[in-house]
Amino acid sequence: MKELIIETVPYYDDNFSYLIHDDQAHLTALVDCGEIDPVLERLEKNKWGLDYILITHSHFDHAGEIENMKKHFPDAVVVKPDGEKRLPAAGLNVKEGDTVTFGQREIEVVSLPAHTMFCTAYHIDGNLFVGDAFFSAGCGRLFEGQPADLERAMDKIASFSDRTKIYFGHEYTQANIRFARTIDPGNMDLASYQKSVDRLIGSGRFSTPTTLELEKRINPFLRIDRPAVAAVVDPGNERGRTERMGVLRMMKDNF
């Protein structure tokens, strides 16, 4: 089987959409639909159609242009979180464990409620598209979920293979690293990641995708059990793991 082609399409200040293309089956899926012009341009340039629109969550910068995109590709199937009433009604509602056939592969649906209660990720061939549920060196703000939801979401992401590539919804990596360094100051992997991300972004490139293997070394939200992280988040050693997760998220909100 030929490898999937995955292209990053940046839009607005720091958003990412992704195009997933299977060259053998001639199928293309778009992950998130916040601004369509850059996506249309890319599809045109590559001479691709559009078969699926995979929506990670309801926020306008990820889902606000679904109906406009459908005008260009009326047959594209909108795949979206089951129960999320803030999205257009038409489409295929999916929940944890569902799969969507994509050529000879399957797109697996992974439910990650926390940022919103319907946040959904899509996993195909070792690639995990997480929207705002997770970012390199960070995670999404808890708009709707509780610390326990965030803890479950981080544990679920951590359960994937270390080789998993993670494609996230915003270029927040530099700010996330600055915060992470205050939480995990002795982490030399984080220090060197900061240098490489600064170089990457300084040369006009993006920090997406990351890998789970790297994130386990540098992302404080995956390192809540590490003594160095716990010492900063819970210096009195008086909180449980879930509460520590909530405190860490709050520290980031206030950073």
Site residues, Fe ion (CB under 5 A)? 59, 132
Q: With respect to Fe ion, which residue has the nearer C-beta, 59 or 181?
A: 59
Q: With respect to Fe ion, which residue has the nearer C-beta, 120 or 210?
A: 120
Q: With respect to Fe ion, which residue has the nearer C-beta, 59 or 123?
A: 59
Could you tell me the end-to-end alpha-carbon distance of the chain, in angstroms, rounded to an integer? 46
Q: With respect to Fe ion, which residue has the nearer C-beta, 15 or 187?
A: 15
Q: How far is the CB of 148 from Fe ion (least distance, A)?
A: 20
* Helix pair angle (188-202, 173-183), 10° resolution: 160
Q: With respect to Fe ion, which residue has the nearer C-beta, 32 or 51?
A: 32
Q: How far is the CB of 59 from Fe ion (least distance, A)?
A: 4
The answer to whether 166 and 130 are in contact (CB under 8 A) is yes
Q: How far is the CB of 172 from Fe ion (least distance, A)?
A: 11
Q: How far is the CB of 120 from Fe ion (least distance, A)?
A: 12
Q: What CA–CA distance (Å, rounded) separates 17 from 208?
A: 11
Q: How far is the CB of 116 from Fe ion (least distance, A)?
A: 7
CB neighbour class for 10 (10 Å; exposed up to 12, middle 13-18, buried from 19): middle
CA distances from 56 to 34, 86, 219, 238 (A): 11, 12, 21, 35
Q: With respect to Fe ion, which residue has the nearer C-beta, 65 or 132?
A: 132
Q: How far is the CB of 106 from Fe ion (least distance, A)?
A: 26
The answer to whether 134 and 151 are in contact (CB under 8 A) is no
Q: With respect to Fe ion, which residue has the nearer C-beta, 132 or 215?
A: 132
Rounded to 5 degrees, φ, ψ at 212 are -65, -35
Residue with tokens 């999916």: 94
Q: How far is the CB of 62 from Fe ion (least distance, A)?
A: 6
